[in-house]
Amino acid sequence: MVNGLNIVKVKLKIDSITEDKLKIKDEDLNYIFMFKRNKRTVSFVVGIRGRAIPYKFPLKTINRNILVRCLEKVDDEGIRNNIDSFADQLMEFYEAWEERLEDLELTLEIQKDFEKGPVARVRTSTGEIAILESDGYTIPLHSGLIRLGRRTFAVIETTYALIRKAIQTRKGGIAEIETVAPLMIIAEYSNGELKNIRAEDPEVGVLRIFDRIPVKIEKRSKAASSIPTLLDSETLVKLLNGEINAPDYREVFNEIIEGLKRFVSFEWDVRLYSVVASYILFTYFYDFFTTAPRLFFLGPYGSGKTRAMLTVTYMSRHGFVVLDPSEASSYRSIEAYGPTLGVDESALNDKLLKIIAAGYKKGLRVPRIEASRDSFILTLFDTYSPVVLSFTEIPKEILIQRTIVINMFKTSDPNPERRDPEPHDFEDLRRKIYLLRILKANEFIEAMDRVRGEIKDRFMGREYEVWYPLLVAAYLGGEEHYKNVYEYAEEDLKRRKTSLYSEERLVLAAIKQLLGDKDSTTFTASQLQQYIVGILVNEEGYTENQAKRIWSPTKIGMVLRRIGLRKRSSRTDKGPRYIYEITSGQFLDLAERYGYSEEDEEDQERETCSNRSNCSNLSEKVSGESDEGSDGRGQLELMRKTDTHTPEKVTTVTTVTTKTDQAQVPMKMGVLDAILEVVRRRGRATLMQILVDVQ
């Protein structure tokens, strides 16, 4: 207190600066001061929050005493009580105007030095063209991995922050502005060791990795705001100052599982905690892989699938829940943020489905036509990103082969507050995983090499693409979690071979009958059709006409070519015909690849007999217990106690079929009773047969 007045320290800062105008404001945005140069005078302007008309003082010269006299005329208690402080700071900024302007001009000039210059010029009929040097290294704005060797690489992570930067105005002046803009963190590793961490403004256009390797930044889609799941500014500053250390992978992995347990229950199969935690960790390193599998929560209403989707999305790197997607916003959001997309069935449309399907493989671009003033421009968008979905229906064929399906069941709510998660619930956990990405990327790459060697002979093709990323993440989580994910992956592999290769397995069964004990055989598609029709009539309940209509020689030829058998032309009296040849060795390889074995077929036949009696008992149990509690625990306990796998097989479309009568199930039955009745009548049933009979 001085002379009975409150003296409050007000801190001012430069808002923008050009040759003709200097704009200054206080941190609380209550006051704006401006010096504006005219031809013969300098205008000193004072703006006050809540006052429509600013104070304007035309001055021939500027000094501290003049500023004090001007401020004394301003009708504001805050200014009058702090005139000396305001005058001192304003005078300091005014005297440093020229020096500060020169600094900003130098900053812009240095930035231009980083831009790629032409290495050659070519004359054309329209003028001279400059050819720019390019060595092929390009990364998207949101992040990237630049591998210069097996153990020499750079990891780039982008976040958005409120920054102050110098820009060039339209009139050629220099202005300093505050804006939300991307900022890149670059971690450079040499010979497997972290050597340097630094920050870079993407506006430079080209990064210099190890101060020599140019990497072009694709910044076609840039966000104007941040999302809450990005790396926070506080951690960024500590990283750059060397004030923070990386946590341990195993400790973080267990924290991920604890975070899951706060909101999601997998009590019917606790291995799912390891599987889903592996997926979350994978999202922070998804750009290290060439494929990004999708995680799909499948279950009835009230089973917790949407909450599971939200939980995983908010725990993941750049988690972003899609609420009301349009085609254009989806393309640009993925390009700008490189997010882990969370998609509920209410938000999915056909266009977004195609984008999600295209984003499974790294490097694939989706074309899009955009209109300009007088023409159309073809633009290629990168949609590569992890995706988490929640649905009540089985995913379409376009997604099923790229997806890890988690079946959800009704259980008690694990969250005591009975609420869905929010991004801030996992802020500390995300910070730790970002630190692993930046500070311990070398350990992740080493794990990739080790796991690749262990699973390359067990998982092949699409199964390898889907499970390899999760197995690497689980490996870093510890032996127990790696075992859980590996076992679950093997079971999923068996289910996939049954559900995804049903046509191939049927063709192989027919070839087995045709091949018999011979070392090799030749056949035509029409000859193989006879064996396929026989199997469908005798074992599947088809009529002969139905089987022939569905399995024409043309379709059989397509499947034969799909499994790798090539046709050759042979001349006969009736003209040319196309024949296929297969050896017993080739057949065994194909049987292994597509999950066909005679033992499985015999086991299924034996299961048919037992299921005809067991399903009846099971149906009675379900009708007596299905009403136990609204949370479905009675249903869950029943599934645990029974030996049948009907619920799982129906949900994942992995059953096989046998003969049946054509009687339909009465619609007055409950859905579960109806399904079980179909299975009881048939012994076994595919999902399509169940849907037809129930309807």
Q: What pLDDT, on the 0 to 100 scale, is given for residue 621?
A: 40
Q: What pLDDT, on the 0 to 100 scale, is given for residue 116?
A: 47
Average pLDDT rounded to a whole number, residues 408-419: 90
H/E stretch holding 637: helix 633-641
H/E stretch holding 515: helix 502-515
Q: What pLDDT, on the 0 to 100 scale, is given for residue 671?
A: 57
Q: Is the pLDDT of residue 66 over 70?
A: yes
Average pLDDT rounded to a whole number, residues 444-468: 91
Question: Phi/psi at 303 (nearest 5 deg)?
Answer: -90, -5
**Least confident span in 147-151, 489-493, 556-560:** 147-151
β-bridge pairing 42-48 and 21-26: unpaired
Average pLDDT rounded to a whole number, residues 20-37: 86
- The more confidently predicted of residues 496 and 329 is 496
Q: What pLDDT, on the 0 to 100 scale, is given for residue 666?
A: 39
Q: If we measure between CA atoms, which residue out of 401, 399, 381 comes closest to residue 390?
A: 399
- 655 backbone φψ class: left, alpha, beta (φ>0; ψ -120 to 50): beta
Q: What pLDDT, on the 0 to 100 scale, is given for residue 677?
A: 57
Average pLDDT rounded to a whole number, residues 144-169: 85
Q: Is the pLDDT of residue 127 over 80?
A: no
Q: Where do the domains of the chain lie, and which CATH numbers do they carry?
A: 12-95 (no CATH), 133-226 (no CATH), 249-495 (3.40.50.300), 502-594 (1.10.10), 608-694 (no CATH)
Q: Is the pLDDT of residue 641 over 50?
A: no
Sign of CA dihedral 482, 484, 487, 489: negative
Average pLDDT rounded to a whole number, residues 66-76: 92
Q: If we measure between CA atoms, which residue out of 1, 35, 4, 5 comes closest to residue 17?
A: 35
User: pLDDT above 90 covers what percent of the chain?
Assistant: 38
Q: Are 173 and 84 in contact (CB under 8 A)?
A: no
Q: Is the pLDDT of residue 598 over 60?
A: yes
User: pLDDT above 70 covers what percent of the chain?
Assistant: 76
Residues 6+ positions from 585 with CB-CB distance below 8 Å: none
Q: What pLDDT, on the 0 to 100 scale, is given for residue 419?
A: 92
Q: Is the entire prediction scored with pTM above 0.75?
A: no
Residues 6+ positions from 369 with CB-CB distance below 8 Å: 376, 377, 378, 379
Q: Is the pLDDT of residue 128 over 70?
A: no
Q: What pLDDT, on the 0 to 100 scale, is given for residue 532?
A: 93
Average pLDDT rounded to a whole number, residues 222-246: 88
**Least confident span in 160-174, 283-297, 428-442:** 160-174
Q: What pLDDT, on the 0 to 100 scale, is given for residue 294?
A: 93
CA distance 488 to 480: 12
**Least confident span in 126-135, 230-239, 270-279, 327-336:** 126-135
3-state secondary structure of 532: helix
H/E stretch holding 163: strand 153-168
Average pLDDT rounded to a whole number, residues 447-465: 89
Q: What pLDDT, on the 0 to 100 scale, is given for residue 593?
A: 81
Q: Is the pLDDT of residue 402 over 90?
A: no
Question: pLDDT tens digit string along 332-358?
Answer: 788 888 899 998 887 777 777 778 888
Dig out the tokens for 432 from the structure: 């730790």
Average pLDDT rounded to a whole number, residues 89-96: 88
Q: 36-45, 271-280, 398-407 — which one is most confidently predicted on average? A: 271-280
* Average pLDDT value over all residues in the chain: 80
Strand order through the sheet with 403-407 = 319-322, 340-344, 387-391, 294-298, 403-407
Q: What pLDDT, on the 0 to 100 scale, is given for residue 631?
A: 44
Residue 426: CB atoms within 10 Å: 25
> 472: pLDDT confidence band, cut at 50, 70 and 90?
very high
Which DSSP string do the residues of 422-436 spell out, in sequence order? -GGGGHHHHHHHHHH
Average pLDDT rounded to a whole number, residues 243-255: 95
Q: What pLDDT, on the 0 to 100 scale, is given for residue 624?
A: 43
**Least confident span in 27-41, 392-406, 531-545, 601-615:** 601-615
CA distance 125 to 131: 16
Average pLDDT rounded to a whole number, residues 115-121: 57
Q: 592-601, 629-638, 646-655 — which one is most confidently predicted on average? A: 592-601
